[in-house]
Amino acid sequence: MLRISKTSIELKALIISLIMLLINGSAYAGSVTEKEVRFYGDAPAYKGLSIVFESVSNYIIPLSSPIITMPINDEGHFDHSFALEEPAYIFADLGRFRASIYIEPGKEYELVFPPFEARSDAERLNPHFSFEEVALGIANPESRDLNRNIIEFDAEFDYLHAQNAIRLFTNSDTALAAKLEQELDRKYSYSHPIFEQHKTLSFLRLRQTASRQQNRDIIAELGSLPVRLMPAYWKLFNSLFKGFYPYGFKDSIQTAISGQVSNHGSFDSIVDIAMGDTLFRNRELTELVILNGLYEAFYNKTVPENTILAVLQNAALTSSTPLSKAMALDMYAKTSMLRPGSEAPGFSLLNSKRREKSLSDYRGKFVYLNFIHTENYACQKDMLILEQFYRSMRRELEIVTIVMDEDFEAMENFTEANSYKWDFLHFG
């Protein structure tokens, strides 16, 4: 029996990424300002589609936000410029692939997309579906260096890390970690601030594997670096600070922090106490460590929910940086959602007559919200039961069915073939 290992899948993705990055030639000319980025090229397999590029705005939850929506015309051509203030790591979900790229202001990228492979309905509706991750191809050589160096470095780093992980961990072999770091540092000498920080963060993760009980030294080094919304930073952050709050702080700090949180103290005062630990000199990092700890405590049930919500709400207003404020607000929204007495999350979707319906249209009514796929036999049977329910209860409540089929026409066909009287809304 043929067995496909995780390693072979990762190798396939790496090969696709490298081939796409090494495609030569540039067929287009254009210019952008120093605060813009231009994407251009041809992708016949994606003609008529709009590609949504996103960035991870919160690596703790996690949560992503759209950056741009790029239309591809009926001939498969695209040429799109957009504003960008600083380098960013972005991605787009392209069928079964999640394709990513590091981009910089002032640069143009002739993009090469992976072959289009549509997800099946089962994959699309599976909350545990895992995209095959690849790098977006860059055809113009002048914009390729940063991504190429990161991909090649990561491939070798991950291989060496995996090959030596047991020895590094069980023997606390810091000498081996230093040797691997020196070899990689000599081999990958590309000079670029993003790449250099990427290497530094990767090397800290390598040292962490060998250090075991010396994470405080690594945390101190992390504190000397700027916080970035980049994968390498948050791989290390999540590894260092999982389960850190409050017991990772010095003993004298633990009690004071816990007491201030229990008393619904201001977020500023909690962070001030945490920075009494000489390990923490970077206020933004300290804020993120506290936020991460409170978010974990909410789901671990180690701190009362109302206490955490009060602190998160205050943090969203008083944190020292826009990133900390935004992440605190994200966490508050996530943890307070669907709690008794809280406002229901809104939506605006099209009904079978292509008219927009919003949750506010049902204000003041009891709403029975349900989800279906029109080809699912169990869902079809549920509709028969719901019809009986509707006939007996239609004066007391509204039934609203959210249709998860990818094609809008599937919902139209389903509602035309049946005589259900309540609202069907498309969320494909």
Kindly report, residue by residue over 342-365, the tens digit of the pLDDT: 777 788 999 999 999 998 899 888
The residue among 32, 7, 356, 277 whose CA lies nearest residue 163 is 7
- The pLDDT tens digits for 6-44 are 455 555 555 555 555 554 444 444 578 999 999 999 999
In terms of C-beta distances under 8 Å and separation of at least 24 residues, what long-range contacts does 105-108 make, across chains too? 105/34, 105/35, 105/36, 105/37, 106/32, 106/33, 106/34, 106/35, 106/36, 106/37, 107/32, 107/37, 107/38, 107/143, 108/30, 108/31, 108/32, 108/37, 108/38, 108/39, 108/40, 108/140, 108/143
Q: How confident is the model at residue 121 (pLDDT cuts 50, 70, 90)?
A: confident
Instruction: Please state, for a pLDDT cut of 70, what percent of the chain lies above it.
Output: 92
In the predicted structure, residue 178 carries a pLDDT above the cut 80: yes
Say what percent of the chain tops pLDDT 90: 79
Measured CA angle at 14 (ends 67, 123), to 5 deg:
65
pTM of the entire predicted model: 0.81
- Beta pairing, strands 107-112 & 132-135: unpaired
Burial class (CB in 10 A: 0-12, 13-18, 19+), 184: middle
Strands 77-83 and 97-103, sheet pairing: unpaired
User: Are residue 74 and residue 100 in the same domain, yes or no?
Assistant: yes
Question: What does the pLDDT read at residue 26?
Answer: 41
Q: Is the pLDDT of residue 1 over 50?
A: no
Domain check: are 403 and 305 in the same one? no
Last residue of a domain, one of 183, 217, 241: 241
State the chain's mean pLDDT as an integer.
91
| pLDDT tens digits, 296-346 | 999 999 999 999 999 999 999 999 999 999 999 999 999 998 777 777 778
Contacts of 307 (CB under 8 A, 6+ apart): 261, 262, 264
If asked whether residues 134 and 12 sit together in one domain, one would say yes
The parent domain of residue 172 ranges over 150-241
The pLDDT of residue 123 is above 60: yes
- How high is the pLDDT of residue 363? 87
Q: Residue range 150-167: average pLDDT?
A: 96
Do 50 and 107 belong together in one domain? yes
Closest CA to 40 of 117, 128, 116, 107: 107
Question: What is the pLDDT, as a whole number, of residue 16?
Answer: 56
Asked if residue 119 and residue 180 are part of one domain, the reply reads no
Q: Read off the CATH number of the domain in which 407 is found.
A: 3.40.30.10
C-beta separation of 69 from 50 below 8 A: yes
Nearest-angstrom CA–CA distance, 203 and 184: 9
Residues 370 and 301 in one domain: no
Number of domains in the chain: 4
Q: Do 304 and 359 share a structural domain?
A: no
Give the domain-ending residue among 104, 121, 140: 140
In-domain check, residue 342: no
Report if residue 220 sits inside a domain.
yes
Would residue 341 count as lying in a domain? no
